[in-house]
Amino acid sequence: MKAEKETPESLESVETTCKPENGLAAIGLDIGTSRIVCSQAPTEFKTQLNAFIGVAYSKFAEQMLQRNGIDFYRHNGELFVLGDGAEKFASMFNHEVRRPMSVGLLNPGERDGFEVIQLILRRLLKKPKPGGSKICFSIPSAPCGMETSLVYHENMIKRFLTELGFESKSLNEGLAVVFSELANENFSGIGISFGGGMCNACLAYLSIPILTFSLGKAGDWIDSSVSVVTGESATRVRVRKESALDLSAPPSHKIDEALHIYYEEMILDLVRSLTRSFVESRNLPTLDKPIPVVLSGGTSKPRGFREKFENALRATNFPLAISEVRLAADPLNTTAKGTLMYAMYDN
């Protein structure tokens, strides 16, 4: 019996890209407590602080802003400075910025919060394409007892995006990290985002979220806790934290010392709660391979963070075997990248 010869004709290699060939334009949106990141292509990110500052209208203030090239809006007799400009403005006038969101969700104590988010989003998003544009935005897992707030938060955003003419859907932030970082592991593993308002984690197996989890303690909590014990303003704490903190070296400064303490406390709390919720969950599948853990988010950026986290994790009786703990490639944009991927999914 003679076998037939069968050879595929062309086997030349082609480039790979995530761009949709046709169909809707896709946008990934990470609406974080501290920053809003928008992504329309895998390596393209636009970001604005999710913050604002309002001062009573005066000619002087207006001129001052104009002279410094800071965008502002007049709103109900106030001047609103949004996004990154708010930071500049705040340091100029030694003010604290206001935040439309806290602990991952719309801030109920901030009357103008949602309006500000809308303005920031309008600034970040181009008009929807004529064929339609699809947005996927991140949402946290609700902290215990906050489920209804999450529903509100999610729907407010969805509604607004619809108003702007976008098709939208949401994606859990932890799962977004998994989508973004764990492709090589077939989307199996734990993704954690250490943000400003909260830490979000998701255990996924083959991209299916098995367990999601959040902790309402993250960058903001560190800032305010350090501020309380050192008497420095939270903004100054944050600036120092973002520019100089090294968790791998012993602290040499009072603020650093406090930052170390609260960083450690946050990590411990997260590892403990995560362990507990994994242990308590009767839903854990038995995985036959150790899984990776990926860390992302602004709060994971200081030197030595990964090591500190890994040590804490390895020191507990974590119910799943962990192969490695690694840092996301681009921690500040990880969530946005995951949402973009999921936005492109339907094309």
Ligand X SMILES: Nc1ncnc2c1ncn2[C@@H]1O[C@H](COP(=O)(O)OP(=O)(O)OP(=O)(O)O)[C@@H](O)[C@H]1O
| Smallest gap from residue 117 Cβ to ligand X (A) | 12
Task: Report if residue 284 touches another protein, rule: CB under 8 A.
Answer: yes
CB of 95 or CB of 169, closer to another protein:
169
Among 81, 142, 332, 344, binds ligand X (CB under 6 A): 332
CA R_g for the chain: 22
Cβ within 8 Å of residue 285, ≥6 positions away: 205, 210
Q: Alpha-carbon distance 205 to 203, whole Å?
A: 7
Within 10 A of 333 (CB to CB), how many other CB atoms are there?
23
Among 117, 175, 218, 270, binds ligand X (CB under 6 A): 218
Tell me, by CB under 8 A, how many residues bind another protein. Answer: 54
Task: Report if residue 109 touches another protein, rule: CB under 8 A.
Answer: no
**CB under 8 A: which stretch of 86-94, 126-134, 209-217, 307-315 binds another protein?**
209-217
| Smallest gap from residue 277 Cβ to another protein (A) | 6
CB of 4 or CB of 77, closer to another protein:
4
301 binds, among another protein, Mg ion, ligand X, none (CB under 5 to 8 A by kind): ligand X
Strand positions, DSSP E, the chain = 25-31, 35-41, 44-49, 52-56, 72-75, 78-82, 101-102, 105-106, 133-139, 166-172, 189-194, 199-205, 208-215, 291-296, 322-327
| Smallest gap from residue 18 Cβ to another protein (A) | 5
| Smallest gap from residue 152 Cβ to another protein (A) | 12
Task: Report if residue 32 touches Mg ion, rule: CB under 5 A.
Answer: yes
* Contact of 125 with 336, CB cutoff 8 Å: no
* Contact of 196 with 218, CB cutoff 8 Å: yes
Task: Report if residue 28 touches Mg ion, rule: CB under 5 A.
Answer: no
183 binds, among Mg ion, another protein, ligand X, none (CB under 5 to 8 A by kind): another protein
* Contact of 259 with 304, CB cutoff 8 Å: no
DSSP, residue by residue, 240-274: HHHHH-BTTS---SHHHHHHHHHHHHHHHHHHHHH
Q: What share of the chain is helix, strand, coil (3-state, %, to 5)?
A: 40, 25, 35
Binding mask 41-80 for ligand X (x = CB under 6 A): ----------------------------------------
Among 196, 212, 274, 328, binds ligand X (CB under 6 A): 196
Single out the residue of 346, 329, 180, 199 nearest to residue 272, CA to CA: 199
Residue 9: both structure tokens together: 């004709």
Place of tokens 């990248």: 337
* Contact of 340 with 310, CB cutoff 8 Å: no
Residue 228 phi, psi (nearest 5) = -60, -45
Task: Report if residue 43 touches another protein, rule: CB under 8 A.
Answer: no
Which residues are near another protein by CB under 8 A?
1, 3-4, 6-11, 13-18, 21, 139, 141-142, 147, 150-151, 154, 169-172, 175, 179, 183, 186-188, 205-213, 277, 281, 283-286, 288, 341-342, 344-346
Q: Which residues bind ligand X (CB under 6 A)?
A: 30, 32-35, 104, 173, 193, 195-198, 218-220, 238, 241-242, 245, 297-299, 301-302, 332
